[in-house]
Chains A and B, each alone.
Chain A
Amino acid sequence: MALSLRGVGKSYGKIQALDGLDLDVPRGSIFGLVGRNGAGKTTTFAIACGFLRADRGSVNVLGAGPFDAARHRGRLSALPQDAALGRDLTLYEQLSYLGRLQGVPRHEIRGEVERILHLVDLSDRAGTRTRTLSHGMLRRLGIGQAFLGQPELVLLDEPTNGLDPNQAHSIRDFIVAQRGTRTIVVSSHNLPELETMCDHVAIMDGGRVVRSGPISQVTGRNEEVHIVLADGPVPLAQTQAALAGDTVEWDASARTLRVSFSSRPGRQAEDVIGAALRPLLEAGARISSVSRGQSLERTYLAMPALPPELPKQGRN
């Protein structure tokens, strides 16, 4: 595991931010961390990075125990939430300083800084002071510094927050391109964005992980097929007959046919889609869309609320 937390607790006075958090982030994955404000995502990041000390529980970063600057130097980097870089030096100076501390040799630092500036589309701003940058540019600079050197684990707290659609898209593409080369943990409220980037996800609430796993498993991609029908016939009986052994439900308000099945060798979601579409088309049904599982957003919203006895406040 790239990151493993067991029974981690952290409180700020009377506010319980983390309450026995268990979290495993597989190496090489792009891991999404989802949760409402105050769920404990930022506290989790801060504990992983050593900014905060856990009150209890164990933390293991890259198999070398809790974060320690000497042990983890150059192996872990992060985009901390709301952290501001100095305002009076240029982008080049800021990045070369951070890169040198990260362990990039002096003779490589120029090339490395140019790589990062190109990566976040700030090459033309290399010589300007940080104070002159817009919010979006500062965000990109923050993301860029997290990829200085060759970190094995990168924690990004709401990386695309405040970026315009083009910038957000290019950052997403960059993150996806890192798959397999390093582990990236992304915290975000933008669930469609996480769904396109991540292969694993954990949903947090009340300082705990309430659901986690491969995103296909969490969203039921290999367990459910959703078929949305336009106005016209709804041949429910024929479909149920064609999918004997599976559960077929009709949601009239959403005009969605939901097929729940057990995935096994020789019978994947694609096979179920084929079997379901045949009777529908033969009966003249008009099909608007077909999807595997439900979106991460619908999964998240469909989750039951935490019991009232569990704490729900905390520093986000």
Chain B
Amino acid sequence: MLGPTPFRDICLVAGFELREMLRSRRAVFVIALYLLVAALFTYGFVQVLERVNEVAKNPAALVTGSNPSANGPGGRGRNRGPVFAPSPADKPSQGILVTPNSPFSRLIFSGVQDPATKDFLVRQPPIVLFYTLASLFFTPLLILLTTSETIAQEHQSRGARFIVLRTGKLEFALGKLAGQGLLMALVTLLAGGMCLVIASWKLSDFELGPAISSTLIFWPRIVAYGLPFLGLAALCSMNSSAAIAARGFAVFGLGTLFYLHYLAGLATDQSVLTNVLGALDYLTPFSHWADLWNASAAQVWNAMMLLAGLGVLYTGIGLVFYRRRDL
């Protein structure tokens, strides 16, 4: 007999989990649904881009305001009529007009507020920014729907008993979590691929090479953002005896974290409560969301490490209780 190690066991459990998930009809359905949603949303977004380009090529078609001259390259365009009139220097790129004063730039600027980040983002293909935005919204939901059940399901069927007799609860739970993490990473990457396929199919001037590079820049950020949600799902799954209870527990946990983040955003004074809320907000993934869009690689790296740390924290809390739990 070999001397099994915890790392080897975690890899074995993760590999088995991944293989089992990819074979199960339910998981395949969830993945297919995710890709279908990605395809439909991308298609809708591409339709919007096409419309924007169309208007850009024929500005007269949309210039209906009372003061068209106010909407030139240097104009703010706010409350002053149409916003899509380009300057002669503007050129369509990646399916949309991307210039410092294009509507897309102004949209990003309004969300980001930081000029350096805005400059970084306007250089990215819009379809990739759309993919990132949609993934940051949907990936936590996907994780909560699938990962939150995975260990609890094994408790419910008592299948976990076959495993924990051969390896520790820690290896079992971490292996399951690693398998789910790999699946999440795979699904988000496939969704990115789906977005690019549809964009290259529908957009005549779409450049695939830069879009792939950009996707590979943002994909790790999406994965990092998913880690705390994986940890939360694992915490709930480890400490539930039934799949449905674990899912309910996870949804409640997500709601609690979001509400905490919301409360922290409301508090503006310098009271103790505000400071406490601010500290607690730091422990929610939502407070690190904006940093993932940052132009600075160092800041993005920090945010990703913090998010990974939150994943470890949530998982660790779950394991503390799980070790003492009857199966």
A binds B: yes
Q: Mark B139-169, 1 if CB is under 8 A from A, else 0.
A: 0000000000000000001110111111111
Q: Mark A104-131, 1 if CB is under 8 A from B, else 0.
A: 1100000000000000000000000100
Chain B residues with a Cβ closer than 8 Å to the other chain, count: 29
Q: Is A89 an interface residue when CB atoms closer than 8 A count as contact?
A: yes
Q: Is A49 an interface residue when CB atoms closer than 8 A count as contact?
A: yes
CB–CB A85/B158 < 8 A: no
Q: How far is the CB of B149 from chain A (nearest CB, A)?
A: 14
Chain A residues with a Cβ closer than 8 Å to the other chain, count: 35
Q: Is A50 an interface residue when CB atoms closer than 8 A count as contact?
A: yes
Query: B164 contacts which of A69, A88, A145 (Cβ < 8 Å)?
Result: A69
CB-defined contacts of A86 to chain B, threshold 8 Å: 20, 159
Q: Is A244 an interface residue when CB atoms closer than 8 A count as contact?
A: no
CB-defined contacts of A101 to chain B, threshold 8 Å: 4, 9, 12-13, 163, 166-167
CB-defined contacts of A87 to chain B, threshold 8 Å: 24
Residue in A78, A80, A101, A150 with the greatest tally of chain B CB atoms within 10 Å:
A101
Q: Is A102 an interface residue when CB atoms closer than 8 A count as contact?
A: yes
Q: Which residue of A lies closest to B169 (CB)?
A: A69
Q: Is A77 an interface residue when CB atoms closer than 8 A count as contact?
A: yes
Query: B23 contacts which of A46, A85, A88, A104 (Cβ < 8 Å)?
Result: A88
CB-defined contacts of A309 to chain B, threshold 8 Å: none
CB–CB B167/A52 < 8 A: no
Q: Which residue of A lies closest to B13 (CB)?
A: A101
Q: Which residue of A lies closest to B8 (CB)?
A: A100
Residue in A77, A88, A102 with the greatest tally of chain B CB atoms within 10 Å:
A88
Q: How far is the CB of B5 from chain A (nearest CB, A)?
A: 10
Q: Which residue of B lies closest to A106 (CB)?
A: B2
CB–CB B166/A98 < 8 A: yes
CB–CB B161/A83 < 8 A: yes
CB-defined contacts of B324 to chain A, threshold 8 Å: 53
Q: Which residue of A lies closest to B324 (CB)?
A: A53
Q: Is A76 an interface residue when CB atoms closer than 8 A count as contact?
A: yes
Q: How far is the CB of B176 from chain A (nearest CB, A)?
A: 12
C-alpha spacing A58/B10, complex, angstroms: 30
C-alpha spacing A83/B158, complex, angstroms: 5
CB–CB B326/A53 < 8 A: yes
Q: Is B16 an interface residue when CB atoms closer than 8 A count as contact?
A: yes
CB–CB B326/A52 < 8 A: yes
Q: How far is the CB of B115 from chain A (nearest CB, A)?
A: 52
Given contacts A69-B164, A89-B19, contact A104 B12 (CB under 8 A): no
CB–CB B23/A102 < 8 A: no
Q: Is A303 an interface residue when CB atoms closer than 8 A count as contact?
A: no
Given contacts A51-B326, A88-B23, contact A83 B164 (CB under 8 A): no
C-alpha spacing A53/B9, complex, angstroms: 23
Q: Is B61 an interface residue when CB atoms closer than 8 A count as contact?
A: no
C-alpha spacing A98/B164, complex, angstroms: 10
Q: Mark B21-53, 1 if CB is under 8 A from A, else 0.
A: 001110000000000000000000000000000
CB-defined contacts of A98 to chain B, threshold 8 Å: 162-163, 166
CB–CB A97/B157 < 8 A: no
C-alpha spacing A98/B165, complex, angstroms: 10
Q: How far is the CB of B109 from chain A (nearest CB, A)?
A: 49
C-alpha spacing A78/B327, complex, angstroms: 15
Given contacts A50-B164, A101-B167, contact A83 B157 (CB under 8 A): yes
CB–CB B12/A82 < 8 A: no
Query: A78 contacts which of B1, B165, B167, B168 (Cβ < 8 Å)?
Result: B165
Q: Is A74 an interface residue when CB atoms closer than 8 A count as contact?
A: yes
CB–CB A103/B20 < 8 A: no
Q: Is A93 an interface residue when CB atoms closer than 8 A count as contact?
A: yes
Residue in B1, B166, B324 with the greatest tally of chain A CB atoms within 10 Å:
B166
Q: Mark A46-66, 1 if CB is under 8 A from B, else 0.
A: 100111110000000000000
CB–CB B158/A84 < 8 A: yes
CB-defined contacts of A93 to chain B, threshold 8 Å: 16, 19
Q: Is A73 an interface residue when CB atoms closer than 8 A count as contact?
A: yes
Q: Which residue of A lies closest to B325 (CB)?
A: A53
Q: Which residue of A lies closest to B327 (CB)?
A: A51
CB–CB B165/A76 < 8 A: yes
Query: B2 contacts which of A78, A82, A88, A103 (Cβ < 8 Å)?
Result: A103
Q: Is A177 an interface residue when CB atoms closer than 8 A count as contact?
A: no
- Which chain B residues in 161-219 approach chain A with CB under 8 Å? 161-169, 171
Given contacts A76-B165, A89-B16, 9 further A-B contacts (CB under 8 A): A46-B327, A69-B171, A73-B167, A74-B1, A83-B162, A85-B159, A88-B24, A101-B12, A103-B3
Residues of A whose CB lies within 8 Å of any CB of B are 46, 49-53, 69-70, 73-74, 76-78, 80, 82-89, 93, 97-98, 100-105, 129, 145, 149-150
Q: List 28 A-B contacts (CB under 8 A).
A: A51-B161, A51-B326, A52-B327, A69-B165, A69-B166, A69-B169, A70-B168, A73-B166, A78-B161, A80-B161, A83-B159, A83-B162, A84-B158, A84-B159, A86-B159, A88-B20, A88-B23, A89-B19, A89-B20, A89-B23, A100-B12, A103-B1, A103-B4, A104-B1, A129-B23, A145-B162, A149-B1, A150-B1
